[in-house]
Amino acid sequence: MLDQRLLPHQVVYHTYTNHAEVAAAIRDMVIRGAPAIGVAAAMGIALGVERSHAKTLEELEREFESICEGMGRTRPTAVDLFWAIARFRRRFTELAGQSQRQGHPGSLDTIRRGMVDEALQVHEERRAADKAIGAFGAALLPRDGRVMTQCNAGALATAGIGTALGVIRTAFAQGSLLNVLVPETRPYLQGARLTAWELQQEGIPLTLITDNMVGHFLKTGEVGSVVVGADRIAANGDTANKIGTYPMAVLAREHGVPFYVAAPISTLDLSIPSGAQIPIEQRAQEEVTHLAGVRVAADVPAAHPAFDVTPAALIAAIITERGVARQPYESALRDLAGPKKSR
Ligand code: MRU
């Protein structure tokens, strides 16, 4: 894993050899961004099963459950995490059934191999999803001018070219002359540290701004559209994304700028009717009071809700790998998700 806590100053990769290390890396934000969290969880579960010393199916089942529970306790908002865990539970049950039917001692290896194959497949599918999102989304962006994003919904946050940044990257590759307005995204600075770095590596022009400049630039900056990622999209289209996304959507509406959400089908949570049911991760106060380990605030209580919820009414379209959903979202999202959502 590329340690995103150290970017852009240091490029350091970690190799993890057990599932608990992977879970800790997700919790501590070595890796972050909803789809990347899903892929990491898939890899972590597969690693746990592959390295298990269980001798019987019952033992392996117990270990598998505890691995899944550990993964599920890392970050509460990004639904890709729970999507990956549910997918692995289904696959484990299928493989366990096969192994019982085969009924010979080597059959636990079938489960071990099957888990690893599933993780590799999740990774492959995420890459393909990003490409498709990029193609659908690029068609919605202006051919030149400015486009605003939030946080980091790029390659660092997925397994491919990114979701929101994948859209921008695809438009750029198709010849659009865009300049990306990147808010720094306090308090964790995913915009300043990660999106700015990623766009710079790609040679895509950008302008870094502070979060409190968002309204000014939406009013005066000739922003053609806003495109952001998502951590969880409820059945009615309400979308949780990095804190600061909601005010950006309100200001975009006020100034007539279309506001797009780009996310894979795995980020849909059709089991909840609206954003009111989305759990919002509360992170440490120190992430607000301190910058790079140095206290910048007075010694006072602080709050850090890591996400906010943008009401569906403010979203012009939700771009997925299976196509673009528009209002009314409930039916459009269910149509796109279809029976394949379970995969
Ligand atoms: O707390 P983070 O950095 O994991 O939050 C990330 C975001 O809010 C992203 O916009 C979202 O996960 C989509 S990433 C393609």
Enumerate the β-bridge partners of residue 46: none
Burial 199-220 (b: 16+ CB within 10 A, else e): beebebebeebebeebbebbee
* Domain map (residue ranges) of the chain: 19-132, 136-337
Is the pLDDT at 8 greater than 60? The verdict is yes
Which pLDDT belongs to residue 342?
A: 41
* Band (237; pLDDT cuts 50, 70, 90): very high
Per residue in 146-156, pLDDT tens?
A: 999 999 999 99
pLDDT mean over 100-122: 87
The two tokens of residue 271 are 């089991």
Which pLDDT belongs to residue 343?
A: 42
| Centroid of ligand 1 to alpha carbon of 149 (angstroms) | 12
Looking at every residue in the chain, the average pLDDT score rounds to 96
* Band (99; pLDDT cuts 50, 70, 90): confident
- Residue 90 to residues 75, 95, 189, 259, 297, Cα–Cα distance (Å): 21, 9, 37, 36, 47
Share of the chain above pLDDT 90, in %: 94
pLDDT mean over 251-270: 98
* Band (94; pLDDT cuts 50, 70, 90): very high
Q: Which numbered atom of ligand 1 lies nearest the CA of 263?
A: 15
Pick from 5, 156, 189, 231 the residue to mutate for probing ligand 1's pocket: most ligand atoms within 8 Å of its CB: 231
Share of the chain above pLDDT 70, in %: 98
* Band (107; pLDDT cuts 50, 70, 90): confident
Residues whose CB is less than 8 angstroms from the CB of residue 262 and which lie 6 or more positions away in sequence, other chains included: 133, 137, 153, 163, 164, 166, 167, 227, 228, 229, 230, 318, 319, 320
| Centroid of ligand 1 to alpha carbon of 307 (angstroms) | 9
Residue 120 and residue 126 in contact, taking contact as beta carbons nearer than 8 Å? no
Triad 23, 29, 33: Cα angle to 5°: 100
DSSP H helical ranges for 189-305: 196-202, 214-220, 245-254, 286-289
Q: Model's pTM, two decimal places?
A: 0.96
- The H-or-E segment that residue 81 falls in is helix 79-102
Q: Whose CA is closest to atom 15 on ligand 1?
A: 153
| Centroid of ligand 1 to alpha carbon of 244 (angstroms) | 12
CA 304 – CA 275 distance, rounded (Å): 19
Q: Which residues line ligand 1 (CB under 6 A)?
A: 32-35, 78, 151, 153, 157-158, 163, 190, 229-231, 241-242, 306
* Band (340; pLDDT cuts 50, 70, 90): low
- The H-or-E segment that residue 266 falls in is none
- The residue to which tokens 């085969």 are assigned: 102
Q: What's the CATH code, domain 19-132?
A: 1.20.120.420
Pick from 242, 287, 319 the residue to mutate for probing ligand 1's pocket: most ligand atoms within 8 Å of its CB: 242
Pick from 2, 32, 198 the residue to mutate for probing ligand 1's pocket: most ligand atoms within 8 Å of its CB: 32
Which pLDDT belongs to residue 171?
A: 97
| Centroid of ligand 1 to alpha carbon of 57 (angstroms) | 37
Identify the CATH homologous superfamily for domain 136-337: Translation initiation factor eif-2b; domain 2 (3.40.50.10470)
Q: Which of 80, 130, 211, 231 is catalytic?
A: 231
**Among the listed residues 127, 130, 132, 118, the one whose alpha carbon sits nearest the alpha carbon of residue 83:** 118
CA 118 – CA 43 distance, rounded (Å): 9
| Centroid of ligand 1 to alpha carbon of 229 (angstroms) | 7
Q: Which numbered atom of ligand 1 lies nearest the CA of 262?
A: 15
Q: Whose CA is closest to atom 8 on ligand 1?
A: 242
Residue 315 and residue 261 in contact, taking contact as beta carbons nearer than 8 Å? yes
How would DSSP label each residue in 30-80?
A: SS-SHHHHHHHHHHHHHHHHHT----SHHHHHHHHHHHHHHHHTS-SS-HH
Per residue in 50-79, pLDDT tens?
A: 999 999 999 999 999 999 999 999 999 999
- Is residue 144 flagged as an active site residue? no
- The DSSP 8-state label assigned to residue 278 in this structure reads P
Which pLDDT belongs to residue 222?
A: 86
Per residue in 164-203, pLDDT tens?
A: 999 999 999 999 989 999 999 999 999 999 999 999 999 9
Q: Are strands 317-320 and 323-325 parallel, antiparallel or unpaired?
A: antiparallel
Residue type, 248: M
CA 300 – CA 178 distance, rounded (Å): 41
Residue with more model confidence, 98 or 89: 89
